[in-house]
Structure 1
Amino acid sequence: MTPDDLVLTPRGTRFAGRMFPCVIGKGGLTNTKQEGDGATPAGVHHIVGMLYRPERMARPANWAIPIGPRDLWSDDGRDSHYNNLVTAPYGFSHEKLRRADPLYDLVLITDWNWPNAVPGRGSAIFIHQWRRPGFPTEGCVAFRRDHLRWIAGRVSLGTRLIIPRA
């Protein structure tokens, strides 16, 4: 492990010499992630992208991509684009990336089950903003807004997210 890794610990996530409170999936940690289980997958994951809402914040890093009004994320194992960014209208099950709430105003995309997704193994494992302290996600790792912005300004493509085995 290096100081440039995001490391999930029982006290929060350690990064760049600081500790940040965070929340994980309502299903806890898992070594056998499945679509819809609400669990956060253990392992070493990498940051492979960053998305943000340009009407709600300035670009957090020069490699961040704006979320457009038709941007979606496929979560349907029957879809050949499962666990990938897709565009509306879209005939398969998906998540809207442009949400009314602020949870996806800034999203760090991990390489969990990507780019060659195995159907049913889980999708959309992101790092994003939490609803509130202690309120779990559907499997993502989530932070307070100002902490997420601080982290996003310092991570790079390939930064490791290390989640201990369950």
Structure 2
Amino acid sequence: MRARNRTIVVRRAPGAPQRGIVSAGNLRLPCALGRSGTTVRKREGDGATPVATMALMSAWFRPGRMPLPATRLAVRRTRSGRDGWCDAPTHAAYNRPVRLPFPASAESMARDDRLYDFVVVLDWNMRRRGRGLGSAIFLHIARPGYPPTAGCVAVSPTDMLRLAPLLSTRTRLRVER
């Protein structure tokens, strides 16, 4: 991917609204999308991946589960039992990282299922948060067979390692209809 072309494009796969193709430079990678496909009207809990162009903000890495991907993003080490992400729309920390245990609804960043072994935080509803407009929209590791996500974009661990060197805060991820 050349310096002037810093957009990663995600398109739905033909005939499979919960599957997509990630295009980054010469790479074409299969991915999983939300269980409700994609949407231009994202809402908390709808299971859809937002149609949007999102900045890549940072990454989280869980040591000991996969090699650390080579990336130009700031990478934060995930601490088991301590790191979470608030998904409670009425809480002041909505769509923000939090320390567990947390008094409101929050998911653990140290998941047992390996989906968050490497997570890229996307700028969906982050800079200008709107209550209930969706939280924890990430680029993360896919389950084997690419079953749908809760609204994220997910690629295989091998493909994440291939994609990671192209990721920086100057990169944009664009999900198309």
TMscore range, shorter length: over 0.9
Q: CA–CA distance in 2 between the matches of 1:146 and 1:30? A: 28
The runs of 5 or more residues in structure 2 that have no matched partner are 14-20
Q: CA deviation at 1:10?
A: 3.4
Partner of 2:43: 34
1:6/1:162 contact within 8 Å kept: yes
Partner of 2:31: 22
Partner of 1:123: 135
Structure 1-normalised TM-score?
A: 0.93
1:80 aligns with 2:92: yes
How many residues end up aligned between the 2 structures?
Answer: 164
1:54 aligns with 2:70: no
Q: CA–CA distance in 1 between the matches of 2:170 and 2:76? A: 16
1:3/1:15 contact within 8 Å kept: no
Compute the RMSD of aligned alpha carbons: 1.4
Q: CA–CA distance in 1 between the matches of 2:59 and 2:77? A: 9
Identical aligned residues as a percent? 35
Partner of 1:155: 167
1:45/1:112 contact within 8 Å kept: yes
Q: CA–CA distance in 2 between the matches of 1:100 and 1:134? A: 17
Render the CA deviation track for 1:93-127: whole Å, top value 9, x for unaligned. Answer: 01100011110000000000003311100000000
Q: CA–CA distance in 2 between the matches of 1:23 and 1:56? A: 21
Select between 152-161 and 3-12 the one with higher mean Cα deviation.
3-12
Q: CA deviation at 1:154?
A: 2.2
Structure 2-normalised TM-score?
A: 0.87
Q: CA deviation at 1:5?
A: 1.4
Partner of 2:77: 66
Select between 154-163 and 43-52 the one with higher mean Cα deviation.
154-163
Amino acid at match of 1:86: V
Partner of 2:10: 8
2:57/2:121 contact within 8 Å kept: yes
The runs of 5 or more residues in structure 1 that have no matched partner are none
